[in-house]
Structure 1
Amino acid sequence: MSYDSESPTPGRRRRLRGNLVIATAALVPTCLAGWLVWQAMDGSGGHDDKAKVLPLPSRSAPHTTTDDKRPAGGRTPTVTVTATPSGGTAAAPSPSTQSAPPVGPLSGPLAGKVVVIDPGHNPKNFQHATEINRQVDIGTNKKECDTTGTETIGGDYTEAAFTLDVSHRLRAILEKLGATVTYTQDNDHAWGPCVDERARIGNAAKADAVVSVHADGSAEGNHGFHVILPALVDAGKANTAQIVAPSRELGVRIAGKFVHATGMPPSNYIGDGTGLDVRGDLGGLNLSTVPKVFIECGNMQDSGDAKLLTSADWRQKAAQGIADGIDSFLTK
């Protein structure tokens, strides 16, 4: 997810500085936080595995974003919105990975559950700089409506293409489990939707879980995945008090299952090795009234991670890991 607190600029992302209203219930040692993820991945098969969830440390000065991205330990490129990137359509998901709307009554362990998948960014954002740079209220302050997202170093595979592919695969898995699944966008918008609207879509659906799918754009050598959890925020239109605890549990379960399914290690540059990060500067989390997390599936600007993210086989594993975490959360 490549979001900057100001207008996107090629190949770099600025660090956000500002007063954010961020608080968490308590602090726990890094070793305990890492143990939580290990617990979530242990016993990967069943619906009755219960991860113990404790509060995680938040950051008093979160990294950048508009709604999604932060630099950590190096450059965090956000692609310019003045031109369509090379090869932007080459990685479009194949029809076989897409899932048609369910027909008839649903059955399965997730029957009756509503999941909203939020594919980060939009492939057409590159063509709509004015629209996506419009400021929207995220409670704590205002940020851009949306951004273009990041891409691999050569520019041949965009984050927007990646998030749609994983989201199509994720939907297919969840619907087989009986869930009712909707998207915030499926490349069916001219641009966006804005981050505040993405939150409203999940709220209006009264979703049991919302997952925003992204890939990071940090520096070469920064690798691994991380899951972003909402901080305790009460400012303006934002009040996350009711979703902090369930969102944390959702995030812990996804992190553990993601490790098991993909073999991807937790981030070596965010989350102190836990694969978990708490933030209060993301509109998609601040404005949510239902359990919601973001997952950064890897760093597209790291050559090692990029080899995985551009592999269809690995993307299927990523979708499976996310689905397993959602399943575990909703059937606990």
Structure 2
Amino acid sequence: MFSGPSSPHPEPRRRRRGVLVAVLLVAVVAAGAAGWFLRRSADGEPPAAAPHGAPAPSHAPTGHGAGHAPSGHARLTGKVVLLDPGHNLRNRDHTAKIARPVDVGNARKECDTTGTSTDDGYAEASYTLDVARRARELLHKEGAKVVFTQDGDRPYGPCVDERAALGNSAHADAAVSVHADGSAVGNRGFHVILPARVTAGKADTSAIVAPSRALGTQLAARFGAVTGSAPSNYLGDGTGLDVRSDLGGLNLSKVPKVFIECGNMRDPKDAAQLTDPQWRQKAARGIAEGITDFLED
């Protein structure tokens, strides 16, 4: 029985020493465990799971360039990546505004378009935003700062010239515009669109043609390997690469930039992949790893 301070029979001295030793031992063990946990976290290993019912730590992004803290082995610390989710689901509600022409250097083209969709109505704009968000999470874990052209937070667009300007103003080390194609049934596979050499009006791609090709080559290789998808059977002669001079998002870019058409939404077999969340995670990983390969070279 414990005897409190007011007890007329105080605890023997030897028992007090035993209690003190036990307390010191508990403190030493606790300090050692805390040190092990901190060393484990510092080495990049995940901490033990929280007890059942405890709230998980929040990692929600707070802005276009915000996100997870990088892992202990982050490879892209200090790098800036622009992700450009193609089109915008709300474009269909602003057809007059997205139809207005903008200067793309060697021509005038529509501000933006509504994009395509699968036969059952899954919109390209929904696909591109979902995959871009998944890729952003993966790139954040590698330490990159990721800038979006739109995150479902704009009434329409942005226009193609602004999409290029956003990458330029961010001084992006790499920029990728995410799309899915709307070609004929039987046309399958992915392709990466590279900028042609364009020097006209506001456009001058001279400095980005070579690095953009390097980016596109890495992206095509990783995307195919991760997703298991074959390069396009209707563009690029089996290389998965296509060069174009009519896209404002490429013509007006001052940073290495490519487009990736992840598959053909109008082909049933490709559409089955594009609408599968597990496949979209693979697509995001292929994009993120392709960008990482390029930036590590």
TM-score, normalised to structure 2, is 0.77
Q: Secondary structure at the match of 2:254?
A: coil
Shift of 1:154: 2.3
Superposition CA RMSD, Å:
1.6
| 1:125 corresponds to 2:91 | yes
- Residue 110 of structure 1: aligned partner: 76
Equivalent residue pairs, number: 236
User: CA offsets per residue over residues 67-98 of structure 1, 9 Å max, x none?
Assistant: xxxxxxxxxxxxxxxxxxxxxxxxxxxxx997
Q: Secondary structure at the match of 1:210?
A: strand
| 1:297 corresponds to 2:276 | no
Where do residues 1-332 of structure 1 align in structure 2 (5 Å cutoff)?
Answer: 99-100=61-62, 101-102=66-67, 108-155=74-121, 157-332=122-297
Separation in 2, partners of 1:112, 1:205: 12
8 Å contact 2:68–2:141 — kept in the other structure?
A: no
- Residue 75 of structure 1: aligned partner: none
Aligned-pair identity (%): 63
**Match of 1:121, as an amino acid?**
H
Which of these two proteins has the greater Rg computed from alpha carbons? 2
8 Å contact 1:99–1:171 — kept in the other structure?
A: no
Separation in 1, partners of 2:222, 2:116: 25
- Report runs of 4+ in structure 1 exceeding 4 Å deviation: 96-100, 103-107
Shift of 1:102: 2.9
Separation in 1, partners of 2:109, 2:168: 20
**Match of 1:137, as an amino acid?**
D
8 Å contact 1:247–1:292 — kept in the other structure?
A: yes
Separation in 2, partners of 1:272, 1:103: 39
Shift of 1:99: 4.6
Separation in 2, partners of 1:130, 1:97: 38
8 Å contact 1:106–1:179 — kept in the other structure?
A: no
Shift of 1:153: 1.4
Q: Secondary structure at the match of 1:213?
A: strand
User: CA offsets per residue over residues 101-142 of structure 1, 9 Å max, x none?
Assistant: 236688611000000100000010000011000100000010
CA 1:169/1:146 → structure 2, altered by over 3 Å: closer, same or farther? same
Structure 2, unaligned runs of 5 or more? 1-57
Separation in 1, partners of 2:185, 2:165: 35
Q: Secondary structure at the match of 2:237?
A: coil
- Residue 49 of structure 2: aligned partner: none
Shift of 1:223: 0.4
Separation in 2, partners of 1:99, 1:122: 20
Structure with more contact order per residue of length (Cα contacts < 8 Å, sep ≥ 6): 1
Q: Secondary structure at the match of 2:294?
A: helix
- Residue 5 of structure 1: aligned partner: none
Structure 1, unaligned runs of 5 or more? 1-95
TM-score, normalised to structure 1, is 0.69
Separation in 2, partners of 1:105, 1:149: 34
